[in-house]
Amino acid sequence: MGSYDVVVVGAGAAGMMCAVEAAKRGRRVLVADHAQAAGEKIRISGGGRCNFTNLRCAPEAFLSENPRFCLSALSRYTPQDFLGLVERHHIAWREKALGQLFCEGSARQIVDLFLGEMHQKGVVLRLGAAVGNIVKTALGFELSIGGEGVDCSALVIATGGKSIPKMGATGFGYEVAARFGVPVTKTRPALVPLTLAEPVLRATGVLAGLALDARVSCAGAAFNEPVLFTHRGLSGPGILQISSYWREGETLEIDLAPNADLYRALKAARGENPRQAAHTALARHVPRRFAQTVSDDVGAGSALAETSDAALRRLAERINRWRVAPAGSEGYRTAEVTLGGVDTRALDQKTLETRSVPKLYFIGEVVDVTGWLGGYNFQWAWASGWAAGQAA
Compute how many other C-beta atoms are within 10 angstroms of the C-beta atom of residue 97: 8
Instruction: Based on the fold, state whether residues 31 and 159 are members of the same structural domain.
Output: yes
Instruction: Based on the fold, state whether residues 197 and 183 are members of the same structural domain.
Output: no
Instruction: Based on the fold, state whether residues 115 and 198 are members of the same structural domain.
Output: no
Angstrom distance (rounded) from CA 179 to CA 359: 15
Q: What are 217-227's pLDDT values in tens digits?
A: 999 999 999 99
Write out the H or E segment, with its range, that includes residue 3. Answer: strand 2-9
Beta strands 215-218 and 221-223, pairing class? antiparallel
Q: What are 235-259's pLDDT values in tens digits?
A: 999 999 999 999 999 999 999 999 9
Question: What pLDDT band is residue 152 in, cutting at 50, 70 and 90?
Answer: very high
CA-to-CA separations, 101 to 183, 214, 347, in angstroms, rounded: 34, 22, 30
Question: What pLDDT band is residue 270 in, cutting at 50, 70 and 90?
Answer: very high
| Three-state SS at 31 | strand
Predicted confidence at residue 170, as pLDDT, reads 87
Instruction: Based on the fold, state whether residues 355 and 313 are members of the same structural domain.
Output: no
Question: What pLDDT band is residue 302 in, cutting at 50, 70 and 90?
Answer: confident
Q: Smallest Cα–Cα separation from 115: which of 128, 106, 105, 124?
A: 124
Predicted confidence at residue 197, as pLDDT, reads 95
CATH number (domain holding residue 361): 3.50.50.60
Residues pairing with 152 in the sheet = 4, 141
Q: Smallest Cα–Cα separation from 15: which of 381, 316, 341, 326?
A: 381
* Whether 29 contacts 23, CB under 8 Å: yes
* Whether 237 contacts 225, CB under 8 Å: yes
Predicted confidence at residue 299, as pLDDT, reads 80
Q: What are 319-341's pLDDT values in tens digits?
A: 999 999 999 999 999 999 999 99
Instruction: Based on the fold, state whether residues 91 and 210 are members of the same structural domain.
Output: no
Q: What are 356-389's pLDDT values in tens digits?
A: 999 999 999 999 999 999 999 999 999 999 999 9
Going along 55-210, which residue ranges are E strands?
62-63, 93-95, 100-103, 124-127, 131-136, 141-145, 148-157, 188-190, 194-195
Predicted confidence at residue 1, as pLDDT, reads 59
Instruction: Based on the fold, state whether residues 346 and 312 are members of the same structural domain.
Output: no
Instruction: Based on the fold, state whether residues 162 and 292 are members of the same structural domain.
Output: no
Compute how many other C-beta atoms are within 10 angstroms of the C-beta atom of residue 249: 7
Question: What pLDDT band is residue 19 in, cutting at 50, 70 and 90?
Answer: very high
Angstrom distance (rounded) from CA 137 to CA 332: 35
Domain that residue 184 falls in: 2-188+338-389
Angstrom distance (rounded) from CA 252 to CA 245: 10
Instruction: Based on the fold, state whether residues 245 and 223 are members of the same structural domain.
Output: yes
CA angle, 303 then 308 then 309, to 5°: 120
Beta strands 194-195 and 328-329, pairing class? antiparallel
For residue 301, pLDDT beyond 80: no
Angstrom distance (rounded) from CA 64 to CA 73: 14
Q: What domain count does the chain have?
A: 2
Beta strands 2-9 and 141-145, pairing class? unpaired
Instruction: Based on the fold, state whether residues 12 and 161 are members of the same structural domain.
Output: yes
Tell me, yes or no, if the pTM score tops 0.85: yes
Which of 285, 304, 330 is the endpoint of a domain?
330
Q: What are 153-209's pLDDT values in tens digits?
A: 999 999 999 888 877 888 999 999 999 999 999 999 999 999 999 989 988 989 999
Instruction: Based on the fold, state whether residues 298 and 364 are members of the same structural domain.
Output: no
Question: What pLDDT band is residue 109 in, cutting at 50, 70 and 90?
Answer: very high
CATH number (domain holding residue 216): 2.40.30.10
- What's the average model confidence in pLDDT over 88-111? 96
Q: Mean pLDDT score of the chain, rounded to an integer?
A: 96
Instruction: Based on the fold, state whether residues 158 and 238 are members of the same structural domain.
Output: no
Instruction: Based on the fold, state whether residues 162 and 241 are members of the same structural domain.
Output: no
* Whether 286 contacts 270, CB under 8 Å: no
